[in-house]
Homo-oligomer: A and B are copies of this chain.
Amino acid sequence: MVEHAQEALFRPVRAGNAFEETVERLMQSIRLGVVAPGERLPSERDLATRLGVSRVTVREAIRSLQENHYVESRRGRYGGTFVREVLPKSAPGKEFGDLHDVLTLRRVLETGAAETAAGRSLGPAERRGLRARLEEASTSALVEYRRKDSRLHLAIAEATGSAALTAAVAESRMRANELLDHIPLLEPNLAHSNAQHERIIASILDGDPAAARRAMAEHLDGTASLLRGFLV
């Protein structure tokens, strides 16, 4: 029996119970900026269907987010559950997963996504979308930078046309953000980051896969070494 591959295949079949997983997903959609502050989440019935859990479980998850001041709910038609304008700082507790693990997977997924996106012929809507996210990220205030940054990176993953790849990037990014929340965000880094973003998007729009990969790799290696520096 191949000993080491077992660790991957015989890992736990589920990350947590249905409630915890649901909270995690909703939290991701907020923290990654897929649902922005002030915007409404899909209805409970809708979420229950999409997430494949019961409405009861969705409600418990939403209640948990309410209690932690991430969302607030309003009843009645045109009511719903809305993301609050001011979001609480993420709890600092959490153990760091294996740093190498997280960064390795992120590098593979995101450089691959950039390369793949650059190799496709993108439609006008996709091109506009990428440019819009780039603009958002570059003009965003410090406090909302992480969210806008994630939206840009997710848009790149989406541009590959692979839902599975997009999902993988979203998950890996979430794990990376947990780490990034522990290091300071400085103006110079941000400016540098924006310049790199521009090169990545330009390469993708130009249809230059190799350049897109290189630019993304450089971008990620920057934050990776920042991380390794700050987290011992």
Known: A5-B170, A170-B8. A22 touches B18 (CB 8 A): no
> Which A1-45 residues have C-beta < 8 A from chain B?
1-2, 4-14, 18, 21-22, 25, 28-29, 32-36, 39-40, 42
Contact of A22 among B13, B109, B151, B158 (CB under 8 A): B13
Is A162's CB within 8 Å of the partner chain B? yes
Task: Tell me the complex Cα distance, A170–B96, Å.
Answer: 24
In the complex, residue of chain B having the shortest beta-carbon distance to the beta carbon of A159: B4
Which of A9, A33, A111 has the most C-beta atoms of chain B within 10 angstroms of its own C-beta? A9
What separation, in Å, do the CA atoms of A10 and B7 have in the docked complex? 28
Contact residues in B for A168 (Cβ distance below 8 Å): 105, 168
Say how many copies of this protein the assembly contains: 2
Q: A104-B162, A111-B112 are in contact. Are A13 and B9 (CB under 8 A)?
A: no
Q: Which residues of B contact A67 (CB under 8 A)?
A: none
Q: Give the segment of A48-56, A186-194, A200-208, A224-232 that binds chain B.
A: A48-56
Q: Which residue of B6, B13, B98 contacts A34 across the interface (Cβ within 8 Å)?
A: B6
Question: Chain A interface secondary structure, helix, strand, loop or mixed?
Answer: helix
A33, chain B: closest CB distance, angstroms: 7
In the complex, are the beta carbons of A107 and B102 less than 8 A apart? no
Residues on A facing B (Cβ under 8 Å) = 1-2, 4-14, 18, 21-22, 25, 28-29, 32-36, 39-40, 42, 47, 50-53, 98, 100-102, 104-105, 107-109, 111-113, 115-116, 151, 154-155, 157-158, 160-168, 170, 172
Instruction: Given A11-B167, A100-B162, A104-B164, output 16 extra A-B contacts at Cβ < 8 Å.
Output: A1-B34, A2-B154, A5-B34, A5-B155, A5-B170, A6-B29, A6-B34, A6-B42, A7-B166, A8-B163, A10-B25, A101-B163, A105-B162, A107-B116, A108-B160, A109-B109
Q: List 19 A-B contacts (CB under 8 A).
A: A1-B34, A1-B35, A5-B155, A8-B163, A9-B25, A9-B32, A9-B34, A9-B167, A10-B29, A10-B42, A11-B167, A13-B52, A14-B18, A98-B162, A98-B164, A101-B164, A104-B116, A104-B165, A108-B116
